[in-house]
């Protein structure tokens, strides 16, 4: 089976990350899925990786310093703005899998509610949503409330502990750092009924290593390169 390719933050190496332009570009490339990062800003869910604005926008400091209107007035690259989760859901709806990584603690229920509302009446689209988070409490809440959405475990603890936690939470996939990639761990996870996703693979050497280890999917800033390597 071909290794799947998920565009990391859309196509972060080709277009401004986590923007609608980046997501649309990844969709046009024919990715198997897209990963985005979600934070809470006031009562709105925004798509942004960092808590601060300096790296990815023309703004400065923590996003909470600004109103939503001010936040969305900043240039997120090439004239793009920081999108709302609702805008990303409208763009990606039914076109590919969508990995929603929850960055802020304590907002799992809000994210789940928005995803449930956005996928109401479209069971197939709901099944294409993949939930993940690094925070253990957030992961547990996402796993418990996912309904027919899928859940993947992002982890920082030793592999054996992560595997045990993934099984306890009913995860469908284990999301492993490229730095920690080990073919024996991949086989162990797969034998336990989990798919293995690796982040973030960007070079020919990265793709070759992932293919040799037999991983199920990679996250890539350059999904065009990853797709070519998987053909």
* Distance set, CA 10 to CA 19, 122, 212 (Å): 7, 23, 25
Query: On the CB side of 224, how many CA atoms lie within 13 Å of its CA?
Result: 10
Average pLDDT (78-105) is 97
Span 137-160, pLDDT tens digits: 999 999 999 999 999 999 999 999
Domains in the chain: ranges and CATH? 4-39+95-230 (3.20.20.190)
Nearest C-alpha neighbor of 11 from the set 26, 30, 28, 27:
26
34-72 CB burial, b ≥16 within 10 A, e <16: bbbbbbbbeeebbbbbbeebeebbebeeebeebeeeebb
Helix H, strand E, coil C: the string for the chain is CCCEEEEECCCCCCCCCCCHHHHHHHHHHCCCEEEEEEEEECCEEEECCCCECCCCCCCCCEHHHCCHHHHCCCCCCCCCCCCEHHHHHHHHCCCCEEEEEECCCCCHHHHHHHHHHHCCCCHHHHHCEEEECCCHHHHHHHHHHCCCCEEEEECCCCHHHHHHHHHHHCCCEEEEEHHHCCHHHHHHHHHCCCEEEEECCCCHHHHHHHHHHCCCEEEECCHHHHHHHHC
Model confidence at 56, pLDDT cuts 50, 70, 90, reads: very high
Q: What pTM, to 2 d.p., does this model score?
A: 0.98
Report d(CA 131, CA 224) in Å as an integer: 24
Span 163-200, pLDDT tens digits: 999 999 999 999 999 999 999 999 999 999 999 999 99
pLDDT at 1 over 80: no
């Amino acid at each position: 089976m071909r290794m799947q390719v998920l565009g990391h933050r859309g196509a972060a190496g080709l277009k401004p990350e986590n923007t609608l332009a980046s997501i649309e570009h990844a969709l046009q490339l024919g990715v198997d899925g897209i990963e985005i990062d979600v934070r809470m800003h006031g009562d709105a869910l925004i798509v942004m990786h960092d808590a601060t604005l300096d790296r990815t926008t023309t703004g400065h400091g923590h996003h909470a310093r600004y109103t939503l209107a001010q936040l969305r007035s900043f240039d997120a690259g090439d004239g793009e703005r920081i999108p709302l989760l609702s805008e990303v859901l409208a763009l990606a709806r039914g076109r590919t899998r969508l990995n929603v990584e929850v960055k802020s603690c304590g907002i799992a229920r809000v994210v789940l509610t928005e995803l449930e509302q956005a996928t109401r009446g479209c069971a197939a689209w709901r099944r294409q949503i993949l939930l993940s988070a690094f925070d253990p409490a957030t992961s547990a809440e996402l796993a418990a409330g996912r309904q027919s959405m899928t859940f993947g475990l992002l982890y920082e603890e030793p592999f054996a502990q992560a595997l045990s936690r993934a099984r306890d939470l009913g995860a469908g996939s284990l999301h492993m750092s490229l730095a920690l990639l080990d073919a024996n761990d991949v086989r162990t996870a797969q034998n336990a009924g989990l798919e293995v996703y690796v982040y973030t693979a960007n070079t020919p050497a990265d793709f070759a290593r992932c293919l040799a280890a037999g991983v199920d999917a990679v996250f890539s800033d350059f999904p065009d390169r990853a797709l070519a390597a998987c053909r």
